[in-house]
Amino acid sequence: MQQTTSRETGGRTDPSPGVSVNFLLVALLVCALGFAIGGGLVEGSGAAFAFVMTSWVLGLCLHEFGHAYVAWRGGDTGVPASGYLSLDPRRYGDPVASLVLPVVFTILGGIGFPGGAVRLDPQALRGRIWPMAVALAGPAMTLVCLLGLVILYHLSGEDSTTLRAVLAVTALFQGTALVLNLMPIPGLDGYAALRPWLPGTWQALGDAGARHAGLVLTALFLFSGAFSRTLFRVSLRLVAEAGIHPADVVAGYRLIRLW
């Protein structure tokens, strides 16, 4: 997700801050867990859970980086000074709201709950195309993550049943995040992509609703079974069309359960 709030940058516009050590550590952990699971070096729910959750954090960083990078290219010169281009997970919002709650909802509901956020300056973006491109850049990175997981799933041997199951459920979480973020609901990327083309009064209403998007989504997940089931079915169909067998998704769910 993105937040369109103005911010002071102090004139710092270093365009190449470099990839953060924190992101590299997360990426290294994902790779190490994947090799260990695939090679049978580790077993059990703990390793599967750790792989899925670290992969989720990795995808979240890439999602928010997509927003930030396109915003920078579109004219928001304050982005580099904010550290968003470093892919550091600490930069993308409050740790509880941006990381802890999404992880909890992902596990409890099997849903890729959108968590990160970058604060951008909408006044710096030129025209209507750039704001729309910024909004869609995050889901585009989520799609890249999903495709990468699908490729790894198909490259893994059929004998690697545990690895295939873990990759399948991880891909489903990215699929749900993609579908959810593209919904035209205020506070989500789908609405942000449409916002530049809406009348001013509609924008004002949508912006007011966006401030409570987290509460609305939480309520939908907790109290609306129809919403969660529909989102799950659409996402499952998406990954199934990509060649991931639903039985592997179910097996992945069982693997990451810690209770």
Across residues 43-58, what is the average pLDDT?
Answer: 86
| Dihedral angle of Cα 87, 51, 239, 252, to the nearest 10 degrees | -160
Q: Which residue has the higher pLDDT, 158 or 75?
A: 75
pLDDT of residue 3: 60
Nearest 10 degrees: CA dihedral of 64, 69, 70, 72?
130
Is residue 251 over pLDDT 60?
yes
Distance, CA of 112 to CA of 180 (rounded, Å): 8
Which of 131, 99, 127 is CA-nearest to residue 207?
A: 131
Model confidence at 42, pLDDT cuts 50, 70, 90, reads confident
Q: Which of 8, 64, 158, 241 is catalytic?
A: 64
pLDDT of 99 reads: 60
% pLDDT > 70, the chain: 83
Q: Which two tokens stand for residue 161?
A: 């049943």
Q: Is 241 a catalytic residue?
A: no
pTM above 0.95, yes or no: no
Residue 18 Ramachandran class (φ > 0 left, ψ -120 to 50 alpha, else beta): left
Q: With CA atoms as reference, report the closest residue to 7 among 99, 127, 100, 91.
A: 91
Residue type at 239 in one-letter notation: V
Q: What are φ and ψ of residue 75, in 5° steps?
A: 125, -5
- Between 213-217, 230-234, 247-251, the lowest mean confidence (pLDDT) is in 213-217
Tens of pLDDT, residue by residue over 187-217, are 889 999 999 999 989 999 988 888 777 777 7
Question: Measured between alpha carbons, how far is 255 from 73 in angstroms, rounded to an integer?
Answer: 41
Say how far apart CA 98 and CA 228 lie, in whole Å: 20
* Amino acid, single-letter form, for residue 146: L
Phi-psi region of 87 (alpha: psi -120 to 50; beta: other; left: phi over 0): left
Least reliable range by pLDDT among 45-49, 59-63, 93-97: 93-97
pLDDT, tens digit, 9 for 90 and up, residues 106-132: 565 555 566 667 888 888 888 899 999
Rounded CA separation 237/232 (Å) = 9
Tokens linked to 216: 């609305």
Mean pLDDT of the chain: 84
* DSSP one-letter code for 183: S
DSSP of 131-175: HHHHHHHHHHHHHHHHHHHHHHHHHS-TT-HHHHHHHHHHHHHHH
Tell me the range of 39-48, 85-94, 118-127, 188-197 where mean pLDDT is highest: 188-197
DSSP state of 198: S
Strands 2-4 and 118-120: parallel
Q: Which residues contact 182 (CB under 8 A, 6 or more apart)?
A: 139, 188, 189, 190
Q: Which amino acid is at 31?
A: C
